[in-house]
Structure 1
């Protein structure tokens, strides 16, 4: 039973870490899209 508890808390921690990275990654992507939109609106064309 103790091992099961440890395994559950470990997976919960891993899930929190993955969730955190997903949030950070999404923030970075949104920032990049915003920068690209600003660049395009200023006449800069994104390289294909």
Structure 2
């Protein structure tokens, strides 16, 4: 299967999938989503800048 998508679209989709999956995992486990904890937004930004 071949998808004609730009690299930036693929990176955005991958980032949203990863962070969304982590949030769903935390909510189902009864915890506050880790992405909202102090310091994690900076880590997310560092990952996106790679």
State TM-score, norm by structure 1. Answer: 0.52
Corresponding position of 1:35: 22
Unaligned runs of at least 5 residues, structure 2:
37-50
Number of corresponding residues: 30
Higher helix share: 1
Stretches of structure 1 lacking an aligned partner (at least 5 in a row): 1-17
**Deviations 1:3-34 (CA, angstroms, capped at 9, x unpaired):** xxxxxxxxxxxxxxx81011011001000110
Give the greater-gyration-radius structure (CA): 1
CA RMSD of aligned residues (A): 1.9
Which runs of at least 4 in structure 1 moved beyond 3 Å after TM superposition? none
Q: Could you state the TM-score of these two structures normalised by the residue count of structure 2?
A: 0.50
